[in-house]
Structure 1
Amino acid sequence: MRKILVTLSAFTFMACGSHSDVREVDATAAAEASKGYTIQTDVKTALTEAKKPENFKAYVSAESIKKHIEFLASDDLQGRKTGSEGIDEAATYIIKQFQDAGVKSYFSSYRDKFDAKGVSGYNVVGMLEGTDPKLKNEYVVIGAHYDHIGTAKAVNGDIIANGANDNASGTSAVIELAKYFAKSKSNKRSIIFALFSAEELGLLGSAHLAARLKTTEIKPYVMFNIEMIGVPMTGKDYSVYLTGYENSNMAEKFNSYSGIKVMGFLPQAKEYNLFKRSDNFAFYEVFKIPAQTVSTFDFTNFDYYHQVDDEAAIMNFDHIASVVNQLIPGVEGMTNSESHEIIWNE
């Protein structure tokens, strides 16, 4: 997650986006921002008797999530800075997960190389072909960034910014979604699984991939990005918030597919324009499609953004697994609808 300093209550937090400062939350403005962005009445009614999150089928286990995050956020990877040996090891790990699951590379290699401000960057891009003869020519893109910042201010002699929440958590979710769909073969549309590098340098990896895909015959339908889901929110009637919530009907449709209110509206996400501050944005800019990010970082539940204490030990693996299990039905809905039900409002 790119650095923004935010003062909220008596604490310091960070948010997706540019390196410019973000002003303190204006409670009145936040309340105003939330008006009008609720699930439509018919969908609310449909969800009244919906199953609870804990009752979702556990395709993805907390143990699997823990394995991914403990490797990706280990000291051995030295904070996964773009261009480093550590991020190369992370890419190798992700590729092995894809290969073992039967997820093919989208290009001739899994590594999508680009220049990242003078150092070598590479996304990891896998693909599962859709099962429908016609719909397989359309794509759902599921992404997360797997890089981090390398080192940060020392705490008790530790300088490694492990990036467990930011964004080994999102990376682990993409890996597990890829494994699920490779096994279930329940996607009529094709799916691209993209792990981006150089997000921390300015969303460079996603910008490169979107531009490269634009030169092909790909027809993306939606782009769905996962960012910082390592700890749960409290006091919410949804599991993840969606950036750019009011710009599309993604949340409404996703919740309908899932049978529960998985996605919701977080006023601060609109207040800080988080829609433009993660790897979804390049896909909107290039393709003008619904391209949005989900997260559970709500500016009150995580104190260690870009700090050395963003460690695997403080992640809630049960929560992350629960989120991924809740995302599966919604992703299946996106990949299997006969028409483009998710639309952009602009």
Structure 2
Amino acid sequence: MKKILSFICVLLIVGCGIRQKRADGKSGKDGVTPNVEITSETVKKSMEYLASDELEGRATGTDGIEKAAVYIENYFKENGINPYFDTYRDNFEFENKRGKQVDSLFPIIKGYNIVGLIEGNDPNLKNEYVILGGHYDHIGNGKEVNGDTIANGANDDASGTIVAMELGRYFSKTKSNKRSLLITLYAAEEMGLKGSGHLAARIKSQGIDAYTMINFEMVGVPRAEGKSMAYMSGYNRSNFAPKLNEYASEDVVGFFPKAKEFQLFFRSDNFPFYKELNIPAHAISTFDFTNYDYYHHVDDEADKMDYDHMAAFINKMVPAFKGILNSPTKEVKLNEE
């Protein structure tokens, strides 16, 4: 009997050890990657805070965007995403102009991007970086509707911010990326791409080996049936879209003819990275100007987001970015013009 009891105790101790390793986000004894669920509920939790009235529309330089920054920083800490710089914040400032005139009351606006790092697990490829981003600022107040003046910016761009955050959580927990991954969330996009412009220039000055960049811009609502789930700005400037679809094993990202007409490639936070680093850098969106009526509108609210769509989109992006992060060579390249 004593031998049997001793054997059971050994099994319990070993079993507890295996469970502890998996709870820590590492592979278990069998080497299986831990399951990290990205669900409509995990997406909704972040959205209901970032697009809440408490944040007052997240205008750069306000108390509201400070609260958003603290939320994102805490999310990074809780999920093992480390600061890329000494802290999570990349600080910058710029003149507050209305047209050509500098605002006399608030001549300088101070902003900060939030930048997290998930280091790659390959001794060589970890020195190459894939950049994912979205802008967490919005316009603050909008035209009053039924007494409401707060432009909460759920689709624009709390949705893209959350996609980048959730992908960061996935790779931080699974440790399944050979290349290093930067999660970069920008302020002052609504004031002329000021945040992404500052960060791109700073990264360039450090001589970082940046491979690719994707900016998630307004991905909170689905496109019409029969259209690709998402589209990529600057589609023909690189082979990024076909490669992403190849890695995802389905056509997730398509071509949107009006993207060129609307000059979307130049109007979103991907552009400074393309300009400064000369790398494939694009925006991915599911908003196509026909499927949502509340662009820069006070009714761009959390309750209008399609959380099943968002979760499905993120889960389709996981294998796509596994391919980007783990391919032996840099397969995504700029096309010759």
Using the size of structure 2 for normalisation, the TM-score is: 0.85
Q: How far apart, in 1, do the equivalents of 2:134 and 2:91 lie?
A: 16
1:125-164 to 2 correspondences below 5 Å? 125-164=115-154
Q: How far apart, in 2, do the equivalents of 1:169 and 1:272 lie?
A: 21
Q: How far apart, in 2, do the equivalents of 1:104 and 1:236 lie?
A: 40
Q: Which of 165, 172, 175 is 1:182 aligned to?
A: 172
Establish whether residue 225 from structure 1 lines up as the match of residue 203 from structure 2. Answer: no
- 1:311: how far off? 0.3
- 1:116: how far off? 3.4
Establish whether residue 89 from structure 1 lines up as the match of residue 64 from structure 2. Answer: no
Q: Which of 258, 263, 266 is 1:268 aligned to?
A: 258
Other-structure match for 1:53? none
Q: How far apart, in 1, do the equivalents of 2:36 and 2:132 lie?
A: 20
Other-structure match for 2:112? 122
Establish whether residue 191 from structure 1 lines up as the match of residue 169 from structure 2. Answer: no
Q: How many residues align?
A: 290
- 1:236: how far off? 3.4
Root mean square deviation, CA, Å? 1.1
Identity value in percent: 53
Establish whether residue 328 from structure 1 lines up as the match of residue 318 from structure 2. Answer: yes
Q: Deviations over 1:71-90 (max 9, x none)?
A: 00000000000000000000
Q: How far apart, in 1, do the equivalents of 2:125 and 2:38 lie?
A: 26
Q: How far apart, in 2, do the equivalents of 1:89 and 1:226 lie?
A: 21
Q: SS at 1:200's partner residue?
A: helix
Other-structure match for 2:26? none
Q: How far apart, in 2, do the equivalents of 1:119 and 1:259 lie?
A: 44
- 1:237: how far off? 4.2
Q: SS at 1:223's partner residue?
A: strand
- 1:270: how far off? 1.6
Q: How far apart, in 2, do the equivalents of 1:332 and 1:233 lie?
A: 25
8 Å CA contact 1:74–1:162 kept in 2: the answer is yes
Other-structure match for 1:216? 206
Any stretches of 5+ residues in structure 2 without a counterpart? 1-34, 96-107
1:202-213 to 2 correspondences below 5 Å? 202-213=192-203
Q: Which of 155, 160, 171 is 1:165 aligned to?
A: 155
8 Å CA contact 1:58–1:322 kept in 2: the answer is no
Q: SS at 2:190's partner residue?
A: coil
Establish whether residue 78 from structure 1 lines up as the match of residue 56 from structure 2. Answer: yes
Q: Deviations over 1:139-186 (max 9, x none)?
A: 000000000000001001100000000001011111111100001111
Q: How far apart, in 2, do the equivalents of 1:255 and 1:345 lie?
A: 17
Larger RCO: Structure 1 or Structure 2 (Cα < 8 Å, ≥ 6 residues apart)?
A: 1
Q: How far apart, in 2, do the equivalents of 1:252 and 1:58 lie?
A: 26
Q: Deviations over 1:196-251 (max 9, x none)?
A: 00000000000000000011131000001100001000133421100000111111
Q: Which amino acid aligns with 1:77?
A: L
Q: Which amino acid aligns with 2:93?
A: D
Any stretches of 5+ residues in structure 1 without a counterpart? 1-56
Q: How far apart, in 1, do the equivalents of 2:215 and 2:276 lie?
A: 15
Q: Which amino acid aligns with 1:204?
A: K
- Work out which of the two has the higher radius of gyration on C-alpha atoms and give 1 or 2: 2
Using the size of structure 1 for normalisation, the TM-score is: 0.83
Q: How far apart, in 1, do the equivalents of 2:258 and 2:54 lie?
A: 35
Q: How far apart, in 1, do the equivalents of 2:142 and 2:131 lie?
A: 32
Of the structure 1 ranges 58-67 and 157-166, higher mean CA displacement relative to structure 2 is found in: 58-67
Other-structure match for 2:331? 341
Q: Which aligned runs of 4 or more in structure 1 are off by greater than 6 angstroms?
A: none
8 Å CA contact 2:130–2:213 kept in 1: the answer is yes
- 1:58: how far off? 8.2
8 Å CA contact 2:36–2:174 kept in 1: the answer is no
Other-structure match for 2:32? none
Q: How far apart, in 1, do the equivalents of 2:60 and 2:226 lie?
A: 35
